[in-house]
Amino acid sequence: MNTLERWHHILETADIEGLGDLLSDDAVFHSPVMHTPQVGRALVTQYLGAAFQLFSKYPFKYVREIVSGNEAVLEFEVEMDGLYVNGIDMITWNEKGEITDFKVMLRPLKGIHLIQEKMLVQLKAS
């Protein structure tokens, strides 16, 4: 499987161990609600794992995928507590197929605040 196929498989199966295997040792996660990037496989796995658990409770779906070389932009939609949230995952991977950089961008502002609140709860629980 290529990197994006592995990503989709991990998301569908909530395979947190597989997620760690997909990330490079020095992976970087850029959150829409954190001021600094999270660096390293362990931290990125923690944040993405918490996001997996949170979004699995809602009707999350990718609606568009744009791929160029070793980079992709995946647009998603999710409805949380009656609020429509739209966002993108920007993913870069190395020649081994390991994710090196993962950036999330969200809209609208109310959605960012709602996800920030729910992610804090999820991170404390994990």
In the chain, what are the domain boundaries? 3-125
Which two structure tokens, joined as six digits, stand for 124?
A: 């404390």
pLDDT score for 30: 97
Burial of 19 (0-12, 13-18, 19+ CB in 10 A): buried
| Alpha carbon distance 126, 56 (integer Å) | 15
- Nearest residue to 115 (alpha-carbon basis) of 47, 64, 13: 47
Could you tell me which CATH class the domain 3-125 is placed in?
Answer: alpha beta
Omega cis (within 30) before 108 = yes
Q: Residue 123's pLDDT is what?
A: 80
Q: Which residues, given as ranges, of the chain have pLDDT below 70?
A: 1, 126
41 token code pair: 């496989």
Which residues contact residue 46 at a Cβ distance below 8 angstroms, ignoring those fewer than 6 apart? Answer: 38, 123, 126
CA proximity to 81, closest of 97, 51, 58, 106: 58
Tell me what pLDDT residue 1 has.
67
